[in-house]
Amino acid sequence: MFRNLFFAALAAALCAGLLVSAIQHFRVTPLILHAETFEGEAGHSHGAGADAHDHEAEVEAGEWAPQDGAERTAYTVLANLLAAAGFALLIGGVSALANLPIDTRTGWVWGAAGFAAFVLAPAYGLAPELPGMPAADLFARQLWWIGTALATGAAILLLARTRAPWAVAVAVALVAIPHIVGAPAAPDEPSAVPAHLAAEFAAAAIGTSAVFWLVLGTVFGGVNTYLAARPAASVNGVKA
């Protein structure tokens, strides 16, 4: 079973990672490159604060980054494949530990649950951001994102195991608590990035993530079902 889950996870990661990389290349990356042209255009007349931001920009400019074009695309594809493999192995492990099968019938449900936990719930408080937009402290954002994803995932898993009234109440509380606490607020600083560009990027990023998760779950379930049926389809090497 674990071998089947492992190979199903790799197949799902390959499909989802390559597909989402293609979508990002044509739909998301152009928005990021467009936003990068606005970096540094806001906040030039803020005295010492501006000098500090300029210094940080210079430090960041000196750090290594992949070149635009083929190198940047290659690293994006690699990152997507690694992320897809990690998420696929995660849902495979949860499926095995919770004794909740992931197959052809339930694969898309797993994908939808992953999208809700890792994208939709965190995005409600922290929308996808473009370069050049003001943002809160990185560690605080990461901590809130992880807590929100874990709480939402736990709520979904609890409801998948039982629909008792107490479970529904606990699940609602788990989903609500991170948003009651609130995501780290971005500083009130001007940004040269147009609002319509930020909104378009957020919609494109969330939509791309939805495709990623649905493909990941559906392919995982389909391949897992196929691999699980193979031993039963043959006896002593002869097909039944």
pLDDT above 70 coverage of the chain, percent:
83
Phi, psi (degrees; rounded to nearest 5) at 154: -65, -40
Residue 189, pLDDT > 90, answer no
Residue 112 counted as domain residue = yes
Closest CA to 188 of 237, 135, 224: 135
Residue 238, pLDDT > 60, answer no
Q: Of 69-83, 136-150, 154-168, 170-184, where does mean pLDDT reach its minimum?
A: 69-83
The strand pair at 238-239 and 234-235 is best described as antiparallel
Residue 136, pLDDT > 50, answer yes
User: How far is CA 62 from each of CA 7, 65, 170, rounded to the nearest angstrom?
Assistant: 41, 9, 48
Quote the pLDDT of residue 134: 86
Residue 178 counted as domain residue = no
Total number of domains in the chain: 1
What string of H, E and C letters represents the secondary structure of 168-225? Answer: HHHHHHHHHHHHHHCCCCCCCCCCCCCHHHHHHHHHHHHHHHHHHHHHHHHHHHHHHH
- Cα 19 from Cα 233, distance rounded (Å): 31
Extract the tokens encoding 6: 């492992």
The reply to whether the predicted model has a pTM over 0.85 is no
Residue that wins the pLDDT comparison between 95 and 233: 95
Q: What is the dihedral of CA 190, 193, 194, 196, to 10 degrees?
A: -120
Quote the pLDDT of residue 57: 43
pLDDT-derived band at 42, boundaries 50, 70, 90: low
Measured N-to-C along each axis, helices 195-229 and 29-36 cross at an angle, to the nearest 10 degrees, of: 150
Give the chain's mean pLDDT.
Answer: 85
Residue 154 counted as domain residue = no
| Sequence letter at residue 210 | A
Quote the pLDDT of residue 4: 87
Which residue has 């690694």 as its token pair?
Answer: 82
Residue 179 counted as domain residue = no
Quote the pLDDT of residue 191: 79
Task: State the average pLDDT over residues 60-67.
Answer: 57
Quote the pLDDT of residue 46: 37
Instruction: Look up the domain containing 96 and give its range.
Output: 2-135+186-239
Residue 8 counted as domain residue = yes
Extract the tokens encoding 32: 């990021």
Which residue has 């210094």 as its token pair?
Answer: 55
pLDDT-derived band at 38, boundaries 50, 70, 90: confident
Q: CA angle, corner 220, sides to 215 and 222, nearest 5?
A: 95
pLDDT-derived band at 54, boundaries 50, 70, 90: very low
Quote the pLDDT of residue 51: 38
Residue 153 counted as domain residue = no
What string of H, E and C letters represents the secondary structure of 91-158? Answer: HHHHHHHHCCCCCCCCHHHHHHHHHHHHHHHHHHHCCCCCCCCCCCCHHHHHHHHHHHHHHHHHHHHH
- Cα 151 from Cα 158, distance rounded (Å): 10
Quote the pLDDT of residue 48: 34
Extract the tokens encoding 190: 């001007």
The contacts of residue 139 (CB under 8 Å, 6+ apart) are: none
